[in-house]
Structure 1
Amino acid sequence: MSDKALLAGDRRFALKAMLAAGGALAFDIEFAAAQGKRTTTAASKLTAYVQLNADNTVTITAKNPEIGQGVKAMLPMLIAEELDVAWSAVRVEQAVADQTKFGEQFAGGSVSTPMNWMPMRQAGATARAMIVAAAAKQWAAPVAELSTANGEVIHAATGRRAPYAALAQAAAKEAVPAVETLKLKDPAGFSIIGRPVAGPDTPAIVAGKPLFGIDTQLPGMVHAALLTAPVRGAVLRSHDAAAALALPGVRKVMVLRQLGEEDGPVDGLAVVADSWWTANQARKAISVQWDNQGREKHSDAAFAAAAKAAFAGKPAAAVHASGDTGAALAGAAKVIKAQYSYPFIAHATLEPQNCTALFKDGKLEIWAPSQMPEEGLKLVAKTLGLATSAITINITRIGGGFGRRLQNDYMVFAAAIARDMPGTPVKLIYDREEDFKLDFFRAGGFHQFEAGLDPAGKMVAFRDHLVTFGAGGKPGRGAELPGDLFPANVLANADLGMTVLDSNIPLGWLRAPASNTLAFATQGFLDEVASASGKTLPALLLELLGDKRVIMSPKIPGLPDYFQPPPYDTGRAAGVIREALKIAKWGDTPVKGRGFGYFFSHLGYFAVVADCVSANDGSIRVSKIWVAGDIGSTIINPLNAEQQIRGSMIDGMGHVISGLKVPITGGQVQVANFDGYTLPRIDVVPPIEISMVKTDNPPTGLGEPAMPPAIAAIANAISSLTGKRVRSLPYEA
């Protein structure tokens, strides 16, 4: 959909102007999306604040949580651009969690840009229009003769000019312009959008100032540490806390029963003490017995055996079926088969899960680094039996999310402890062992692929049977197999099916959920198919994509429009593939140690070329990466875009060569700290060359879509280098 269409018809729009304390003018801009348009409810509101201060600076409220994706700069940039103020005059403030006032507030899915591209610009344009209207009345000049620049209104004919602050009170009395009358800037005139802008928190982060949830300090605060079962889901049978309570500074030991997320409730103990160190040491002194209730039967070996048994039969559920795949495979000149797998992995955020809570006079106030604070508020309210109106959530800076903080178990634990200690602020911090144990893991999975080639080497059939994890036959978070998975969406004969295994391991979304595993498996297998047909993978992909066209995926019943599968533009896909080949100077022949990966996810098209070499110690290292991406017409903040893409490449390396794996034995997570879970370090990061392909489409997000093809490209590069196909992650020589 074009920007013009978004402006004209997709949103109802209202703006209220009011005088704030001290004479500053605050603009309260409310947008209500039309039924089913980028919203999960019939009438959700998006509210942004523009405050003009007496010194002609502008305070803009950033509504969404900041996890390093740059949204705290990006959203205010959109407003400031259309308001026509200098970025140096902008001050950014973090909003509290209040979806009745601010609309949807979350960090995930790379949707902040597509959801807010037009509304935030309209917010700035509306405020600017009211200020200009006020100046026109005061100066008895036609609005058409007035212009703005750097926070001033200018009348060129008379030479008059006035700062916005001088017009604030008069502007507050102006009628709100209809959205269809707004005149947004021509992109050619952007002075903020498209320019590199540093994050507003960067100076404080560099200076080591407290910004993150773990930094929260309140007068009289006490500290809490958790003790939970080694086997996830085990029930607390009995405990003896006498030794812990005897330690100086320990206040109490609390029993927590079946708290946390509803699909992963936890029994545990909370130790409250004057310092977190004391609380953490005291929990080790508790004698405790757990009832595993048969959960120890879950293990990697059992999962692999179950997958093998599933592959011997048909998938439990059909996901996609087109043409006659069985007949096409039976009549193929060549059939390629392979099995791929990948493990459970953890989010491993550098800032462990934490939350501070204060329960006082029947009300609860929370300070939380949450990616989805509204869901946390609802979960706490339901668990504790409080009205949502009695709970305030303060959004803190997040020291790493990657999807982990879309679950709010730490909020519930902190709130339950605080309710038991009214009037006393409680800060809960998971120690690293508990942080790994209580993660919501990226799902492991197993794929069985088949592909058929005709006598000319053209791919004519594709089949994938995914064995993954969930409950009741339904895949868990991030374990889904989409029906429009490439190349099933471009082939006449394709079958996709799924079998779901039960386990005691709770699942969660991890950066580029589902896509991060599917890209590795499908692009790895297609690399094998390309080799069997005498082609490179990019050549095979371009052949499969064919002529430029837009493929519409079938609607999923009961799913709001915003969450429906997006259209697939084969021209945009081909564009990034060709651009990646161009910047890598790669022709039509294979290059030893070079791999390719392509994927479309989160509305972004990305292709990656990776070169790998053998290090002196026999290990594999990535020597160079080239990235081509298409996220639409505009890169709002090039500085942050580059950071997001580079971070995606480094994350992708971690999936393949850094040993990211969470073994499961006897129902237990076999990782307790970073000594057993090695993240990529700066010394392994190669040169990364980036090229963005701009197309005439509204801009989309960047936090996730670049990573999936990086995983595939690096794995395929290792296959090319070693001659041994990488079919399982992480790579092991």
Structure 2
Amino acid sequence: MNAPVTADRRAILKASLVGGAALVFDARIAAAATAPGKPASTLTAFVRINPDNTVTIGSKNPEVGQGPRMTLPMLIAEELDVDWSQVKIEQTLVNEKVYGQQAAVGSTAVPTNFLPMRQAGAAARAMLVNAAAARWGVDASALTTASGKVMGPGGKSATYADLAADAAKQPAPDLKTVKLKDARQFKIIGKPVGHVEAPKIVKGEPLFGVDVDLPGMVYAAVEICPAFGGTLASFNADKVKAMPGIVDVVPVNSGNNPGNANDAVAVIATSWWLANKARSALEIVWNKADQEKVTTAGLAAFAQDAFAKAPAAQIAKKGDVDAALASAAKVVKAQYSYPYLSHATLEPQNCTAQFKDGKLEIWSNSQWPGLGLGLVTKQTGLKQDDITVHMLRGGGGFGRRLNNDYMLLVSQLAKALPGKPVKLIYNRTDDLQHDFYRSAGWHDFAAGLDASGKIVAFRDHYVGSGANNRPTTAAELPATEFPAQFVDNVLLGTTYYSSNVPTSWMRAPGSNALAFVFQGFLDEVAVAAGIDLPTLLLNTFGEDRIVPGGGGFMSPPVNTGRAKGVIKKVVEMAKWTGSKGSAPGKGRGFAYYFSHQGYFAEIVDVTVTGTKVSVDKVYIAADVGSPIVNPLNALHQVQGACIDGIGQALSGLSLTVDKGAVTATNFHQYPLARIDIAPRDVVVEFLQTANPPTGLGEPSLPPVIPAIANAIFAATGKRLRSTPFKLA
């Protein structure tokens, strides 16, 4: 996954009267309060003061259930000094030149926007205060604000609405020096706030990308080459074009989208059902013989062959692993694996576009629409200023909507049918068989212990998806993967198989798989050492210190004090005395993981009855810095990611690739988590340490999977080394 775009943040910090910076104060609309109808006044790119003294705040990031539509406006409202009841929220258009990075990626919304959004609110407040000071002939320092009002000496007061027109004429303040509140003054940040869109979701009102309905709209379904990377040789659409309701048949390609450049043929009709049904009558010849060679069985065999040899590359080498293993008091060896996974968002991929008068308008639920906008610009040859992208809520994202294949396809269709709005919808088979998948992987581990139970050697040979011995997207193994930096003799090696199966980000990318194999294996090491896993990790981390990372998003520095803090906290929360359960068939499992700058330790209680595993309770200790902007949303994010991980472990999620294509066609072959596997309780405690806020939407997922595996071992004595877990 890409690191946060720090250049955007720097641009926001430098925003002033200079055009093009992230807040673009000179783009504000200075509306006179005395104008007919008393129009609203825009003070910054994010704040609009309405005549009734309500405030409309622009929410700039995509919403796919992780909560930025509320969280980011909360930051602005806090520093603007209005009551939350005065706030209205409006989704902005896509314009990264104005708003900075607009993406739901890597749990970065709060970490990268915590300061800039507060500065945006504080800047608007300063403009209002300065307007009042000028009106009353007093120094701005003599004025205070609260609840959308400015108060001054002698009982003077004015609402923001009264001051808005004058404030819009004020010079924009320097964001570097604009005064921010002390955390002790917060009235909105740190308070639980429900989601503004919850009522619409409950009532089923139009909200999501798939809900777009425009006059004269036509609908598209696409027949995509079944083998990844295949190309279109020829097609005959005569039968389809003769069917009632068919508008056109158009060949398309998502070739500007890295990793999945499949050819396709789109059927466009007056209803989506007609278009989807007509697909089966297309006569298509694909060029796919070379692509059909890839199978999951073949990849597994490749991994075993690779394990018999030295790794193709060494990404971390320290000391002499072979000698340390040879002289170790105990040696533990095991192989772990995990399958390809699909995101399987409940709302399938979709997008709507209209090309009219040389301009393209797009309605998208992309997680990174700005990235899609860039791809569409290259593909269509249009100028970016001639393309408007509306952001709509996505019915789940989990990383899938970061890949904008649907935007590329529908843009081609819109250009082929000028003037007509075109809505493209994938059916469930399309969605499963043409995803950007969580990579499959295989690991061959060995660890050596000295007589005291200390890890003196650690080795992993990882086999994963790649090309030219480089990993495909989100398939890499970081050279700093724990415990590599804390052991004297280490060898982390990689061998990559060449595959045309596209891989990409999935919720907690990389770590959603690596946590399971590393923490599962380390539990085996702890058992061999005669101690429990929390003790092994605490001993391995050693003294409190900052351990440098390897650079980049996947290898940040590690604060061992924070890591130990969450381990100790969850042990306290669960009253952990070991992994043995309170009765036969019951077990407890522990795991820790650090990802997206968040430190998480989790304990899971399970009951095993025959081959059925039930998760009874989950305890989660989290250190994601402070403050927690919206505790209610934070709790939902942590619990939701945890249940997502439980689903990966227990619901049977696994994809088979045969002849270069995914075989699953619907949920009967790819069963999503159902309510019966959800735990009765997920207890979460946040350690609000004196550190900046970090990611929340992803880092609770990785540890729960190995914690379940370790709990199953405690209950049954059976070690499960591949997901999904099966006791049969």
Query: What range describes the TM-score normalised by the shorter chain of this pair?
Result: over 0.9
Name the structure 2 match of 1:721.
715
Q: Does 1:300 align with 2:296?
A: yes
Residues 1:91 and 2:88 aligned together:
yes
> Could you tell me which of 397, 409, 416 is aligned with 1:420?
416
Match of 1:103 in 2: 100
**CA distance, structure 2, for counterparts of residue 369 and residue 434 of structure 1:** 17
Distance 2:254 2:603 in 1: 47
Which of 542, 546, 555 pairs up with 1:565?
A: 555
Q: Which residue of 2 aligns with 1:41?
A: none
For 1:552 and 1:304, locate their aligned partners in 2 and report how far apart those are by CA, in whole Å.
34
- Look up the match of 1:320: 316
* Deviation per residue, 1:331-361 (Å, 9 max, x gap): 2111111100000000000010001111112
1:660 aligned onto 2:653: yes
Q: 1:75 aligns with which of 62, 67, 72?
A: 72
2:700 equivalent to 1:706? yes
- The 3-state SS of whatever aligns with 1:513 is coil
Q: Describe the SS at the equivalent of 1:636.
A: coil
Task: Give me the whole-angstrom Cα distance separating, in 1, the residues matched to 2:427 and 2:440.
Answer: 25
Map 1:71-470; keep pairs closer than 5 Å.
71-155=68-152, 157-257=153-253, 259=255, 261-470=257-466
Distance 1:291 1:8, change over 3 A: closer
CA–CA distance in 2 between the matches of 1:190 and 1:82?
9
Work out the CA distance in 1 between the residues paired with 2:254 and 2:571: 53
Q: Which stretch shifts more, 228-237 or 462-471?
A: 228-237
How many angstroms does 1:291 deviate by? Answer: 2.7
Judge which range, 142-151 or 428-437, deviates more.
142-151
CA contact (8 A) 1:64 1:72 kept: yes
Q: Confirm or deny: 8 A CA contact 2:253 2:409 kept in the other structure.
A: no
- Give 1:639's aligned residue: 632
Q: How many residues are treated as equivalent by the alignment?
A: 701
Contact 2:254-2:409 within 8 A present in 1 as well: no
Match of 2:566 in 1: 576
Q: Could you list the per-position Cα deviations for residues 674-722 of structure 1 after superposition, in whole angstroms to 9, with x for gaps in the alignment? A: 1111111123211111111111001112111111011111121122222
Single out whichever of 602-611 and 311-320 deviates more from structure 2.
311-320
Deviation at 1:258, TM superposition (A): 5.9
State how far apart, in whole Å, the 1-side matches of 2:106 and 2:550 are. 20
Distance 1:637 1:517 in 2: 28
The verdict on how the C-alpha distance between 1:56 and 1:307 changes in structure 2, with shifts beyond 3 A counting, is: same
Which stretches in structure 1 are left out of the alignment for 5+ residues?
Answer: 1-5, 29-47, 557-562
Task: Tell me the residue number matched to 2:549.
Answer: 553
2:528 maps to which of 525, 532, 544 = 532
Offset, 1:95:
1.0
How far did residue 87 of structure 1 move? 0.7
How far has the Cα of 1:138 moved from its partner?
A: 2.1
For 2:200 and 2:211, the matched residues in 1 are separated by 13
Q: 1:7·1:118 contact (CA, 8 Å) conserved in 2?
A: no
**1:499 Cα deviation from its structure 2 partner:** 0.8
Distance of aligned partners of 1:230 and 1:176 in 2 relative to their CA distance in 1, 3 Å threshold: closer
Letter matched to residue 46 of structure 2: Y
* Residues 673 and 589 of structure 1: CA distance in aligned 2, closer, same or farther (over 3 Å): closer
Select the residue among 602, 623, 640 that pairs with 1:608: 602
CA contact (8 A) 1:260 1:266 kept: no
Instruction: Compute the displacement of 1:244 (Å).
Output: 2.0
Q: C-alpha separation between the residues in 2 aligned to 1:52 and 1:607?
A: 44
Instruction: Tell me by how many angstroms 1:256 deviates.
Output: 2.2
State the match for 1:39 in structure 2: none
1:384 to 1:179, Cα distance in 2 relative to 1, 3 A: closer
The one-letter amino acid of 1:703's match is G
Contact 2:466 2:472 in 1 (8 A): yes
| Aligned equivalent of 2:501 | 505
Give yes or no for contact 2:354–2:419 (8 Å, CA) kept in 1. yes
**Take 1:539 and 1:586, find their aligned partners in 2: how far apart are those partners?**
11
Shift of 1:589: 6.0
1:661 partner amino acid: S
Q: Aligned-pair RMSD on alpha carbons?
A: 1.9
Match of 1:162, as an amino acid? Answer: A
2:14 to 12, 15, 29: 12
- Equivalent residue number for residue 693 of structure 1: 687
TM superposition score normalised by structure 1: 0.93
CA contact (8 A) 1:250 1:278 kept: yes
Q: Which amino acid aligns with 1:656?
A: A
Secondary structure of the residue aligned to 2:486 is: coil
**2:43 paired residue among 27, 32, 44:** 27
Please tell me whether the aligned partners of residues 490 and 545 of structure 1 are also in contact (alpha carbons under 8 angstroms). yes
Deviations 1:234-274 (A, max 9, x none): 22233332332222111222222464623211111110100
Q: Distance in 2 between matches of 1:258 and 1:366?
A: 16
Deviation track 1:31-66 (CA, whole Å, cap 9, x = no partner) reads xxxxxxxxxxxxxxxxx4111111111011111101
Whether contact under 8 Å (1:539, 1:588) holds in the other structure is: no
In 2, the alpha carbon distance for the partners of 1:57 and 1:603 equals 36
C-alpha spacing 1:673/1:564, structure 2 compared with 1 (3 Å): closer
The answer to whether the 8 A contact 1:154-1:160 is kept is yes
Instruction: Work out whether residues 7 and 180 of structure 1, in 8 Å CA contact, stay in contact via their aligned partners in 2.
Output: no
Larger mean CA deviation between 180-189 and 681-690 belongs to: 180-189
Give 1:44's aligned residue. none
Give the Cα–Cα distance (whole angstroms) in 2 for the partners of residues 722 and 239 of structure 1: 56
Determine which of 641, 647, 666 is the counterpart of 1:648. Answer: 641
Per-residue displacement from partner, 1:533-574 (whole Å, max 9, x unpaired)?
001111111111111100112446xxxxxx473221000000
In 2, distance between residues paired with 1:132 and 1:689? 44
After superposition, the C-alpha distances for 1:634-686 in whole angstroms (9 at most, x for unaligned) are 11001100110111111011111001111112222011111111111123211
- Does the aligned pair in 2 maintain the 1:271–1:282 contact within 8 Å? yes
Deviations 1:566-592 (A, max 9, x none): 221000000111111111111256445
Q: Within 1, Cα distance between the matches of 2:170 and 2:11? A: 24
CA contact (8 A) 2:578 2:588 kept: no
Equivalents in 2 of 1:178, 1:7: separation in Å? 15
The aligned amino acid for 1:729 is T
Which whole-Å CA distance do the structure 1 matches of 2:200 and 2:9 have between them? 37
Given candidates 581, 588, 596, the residue that maps to 2:590 is: 596
SS in 2 for 1:480: coil
CA distance in 1, matches of 2:30, 2:715: 64
Q: Is the CA contact 2:579–2:587 (under 8 Å) kept in the aligned structure 1?
A: no
Task: Name the structure 2 match of 1:40.
Answer: none
3-state DSSP class of the match of 2:695? Answer: coil
Which deviates more from structure 2 when the two are superposed, residues 162-171 or residues 690-699? 162-171
Q: How many percent of aligned residue pairs carry the same amino acid?
A: 50
Cα deviation digits, residues 52-100 of structure 1 (max 9, x gap):
1111110111111011110000110000000000011111111111111
Task: Give TM-score, length-normalised by structure 2.
Answer: 0.93
TM superposition shift of 1:726: 0.9
Is the CA contact 2:469–2:495 (under 8 Å) kept in the aligned structure 1?
yes
Give distance in 1, aligned partners of 2:394 and 2:256: 20
Paired residue type of 1:24: A
Query: Is contact 2:611–2:726 with CA below 8 Å preserved after alignment?
Result: no
The residue type equivalent to 2:470 in the other structure is K
- Once residues 19 and 120 of structure 1 are traced to their aligned partners in structure 2, the CA distance between those partners, rounded to angstroms, is 20
Q: CA contact under 8 A between 2:209 and 2:365: conserved in structure 1? A: yes
CA positional deviation for 1:215? 0.6
Residue 179 of structure 1 aligns to a residue whose secondary structure is coil
Moved more, 632-641 or 249-258: 249-258
Q: Describe the shift of the 1:116–1:467 C-alpha distance in structure 2 as closer, same or farther (beyond 3 A).
A: same
| 1:619 Cα deviation after fit | 1.1
